[in-house]
């Protein structure tokens, strides 16, 4: 019998645990991993990078000079970023004594839009020395080990860490619960019994990203495509994070589902695609980046664009049961270009606005969730109507409230 899981991993994240030798960085990381392995039902969602492991392999040739320690941290930052990009939770358990190195790690994650949390494992020097089973502090005080952090080499404490966990005052179980609580609050984890609330995908572009987008070939989309762009970017089309690729489109029109990266299928019967004509396809050519413009403004980009045939009649027949050009749903599809475009990823740089007086009511799932929490609502009933409220709707709303 397989036990049901308590949590699901919602996104990759890097937890950078810094602190003196013996503070409990690796011990806490291992305890959180053990709990998450059990309560997510997956032993491959969490990975730990600690000093002993890395210095035996990746950073074997580095010593303990300030320059070597800086390079050590730089490499770890890049490795942790890769795990994070793959959707894993990675714990970095390093003394990392210098604020500059930790700031670099934070910045390189921020540039890629990845979650990064600095955690100060803040057990006191006295507690750390009392735990010193290897006798490292004793050797450092005797001068046997030079440049030992906290004794003969400085340790720059974080000034504003995301987490401050004093393992000298907390039990291991309590410290583990502090980290789990933070993961739930930051959307790294979610209770499996809780409804999924998708965060929007929009992330403000850096100066370099804006420059790259401005230099790339572009596609000016129409209102229909802008509505689809908004649907994905605001988080309403989970698990989509970009316009459908060919496999996702085929699954959607044939099975009315889209499979996420874990292999789970989600109901999604609407073909959310982006089209171009043959002339635009030729113009884009082998470009590695394509900008998407709405009302003359760049709102998103597609990386590593891929084109595939826009089989309009098949899409309409499967979706609407017909492919008549005068059908309200089929008409816009039949008027599209000959090609559909997707890519390895998309960057949603700005939220799509329609400037029709209704933008202030177009909330993301997360914004709606926050409003219902603020209202203290036990349940929310939503009605979508395509015409003004009439008595039937009013009765329905009244009965629901009652």
Structure tokens at 245: 């690729």
pTM recorded for the entire structure: 0.63
Give the pLDDT confidence score for residue 43 in this predicted structure. 92
Task: Write out the chain's pLDDT in tens, 402 residues.
Answer: 345 689 999 899 999 999 998 899 999 999 999 999 999 999 999 999 986 676 666 666 666 677 777 788 888 899 999 999 989 999 999 888 889 989 999 999 998 889 999 999 999 999 999 988 788 888 888 888 887 887 888 889 999 999 999 999 999 999 999 999 999 999 999 888 877 788 789 999 999 999 999 999 999 999 999 999 999 999 999 999 999 999 999 999 999 999 988 788 999 999 999 999 999 999 999 999 999 999 999 999 999 999 999 999 999 999 998 878 888 889 899 999 999 999 999 999 999 999 999 999 899 998 988 888 898 887 777 776 666 667 777 888 788 888
Q: Helices 25-40 and 172-185: crossing angle, nearest 10°?
A: 60
Residue 174 to residues 31, 178, 265, Cα–Cα distance (Å): 11, 6, 36
Give the pLDDT confidence score for residue 72 in this predicted structure. 80
Give the pLDDT confidence score for residue 248 in this predicted structure. 97
> Exposed (0-12), middle (13-18) or buried (19+): which is 209, by Cβ within 10 Å?
middle
Domains with residue ranges and CATH for the chain: 7-191 (3.40.50.300), 207-348 (3.10.400.10), 363-401 (no CATH)
DSSP 52-75: HHHHTTTTTT--SSHHHHHHHHHH
As annotated, the active-site residues are 96
């Amino acid at each position: 019998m397989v036990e049901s899981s308590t949590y699901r991993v919602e996104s990759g994240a890097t937890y950078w645990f810094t602190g003196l030798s013996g503070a409990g960085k690796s011990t806490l990381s291992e305890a959180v991993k053990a709990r998450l392995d059990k309560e997510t039902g997956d032993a491959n969602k969490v990975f730990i990078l600690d000093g002993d492991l890395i210095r035996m392999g990746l950073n074997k040739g580095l010593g303990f000079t300030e320059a070597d320690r800086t390079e050590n941290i730089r490499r770890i930052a890049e490795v942790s970023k890769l795990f994070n990009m793959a959707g894993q939770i990675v714990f970095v358990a390093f003394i990392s004594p210098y604020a500059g190195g930790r700031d670099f790690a934070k910045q390189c994650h921020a540039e890629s839009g990845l979650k990064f949390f600095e955690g100060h494992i803040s057990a006191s020097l006295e507690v750390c020395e009392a735990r010193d089973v290897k006798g490292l502090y004793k050797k450092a005080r005797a001068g046997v080990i030079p440049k030992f952090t906290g004794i003969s080499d400085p340790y720059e404490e974080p000034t504003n860490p995301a987490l401050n966990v004093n393992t000298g005052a907390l039990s291991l179980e309590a410290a583990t619960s502090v980290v789990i609580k933070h993961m739930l609050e930051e959307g790294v984890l979610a209770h499996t019994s809780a409804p999924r609330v998708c965060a929007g995908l929009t992330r403000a572009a850096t100066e370099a990203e804006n420059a790259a987008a401005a230099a790339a070939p572009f596609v000016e989309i129409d209102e229909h495509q802008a509505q689809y762009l908004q649907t994905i970017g605001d988080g309403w089309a989970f698990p989509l994070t970009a316009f459908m690729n060919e496999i996702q489109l085929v699954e959607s029109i044939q099975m009315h589902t889209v499979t996420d990266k874990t292999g789970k299928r989600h109901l999604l019967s609407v073909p959310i695609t982006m089209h171009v004509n043959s002339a635009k396809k030729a113009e884009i050519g082998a470009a590695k980046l394509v900008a998407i413009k709405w009302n003359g403004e760049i709102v998103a980009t597609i990386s590593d664009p891929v084109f595939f045939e826009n089989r309009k009649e098949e899409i309409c027949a499967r979706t609407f049961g017909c492919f008549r050009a005068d059908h309200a749903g089929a008409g816009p599809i039949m008027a599209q270009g000959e090609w559909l475009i997707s890519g390895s990823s998309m960057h949603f740089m700005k939220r799509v606005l329609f400037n029709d007086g209704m933008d202030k009511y177009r909330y993301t799932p997360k914004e709606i969730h926050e409003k219902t929490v603020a209202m203290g609502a036990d349940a929310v009933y939503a009605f979508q109507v395509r015409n003004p409220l009439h008595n039937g709707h009013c009765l329905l709303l009244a009965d629901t409230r009652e």
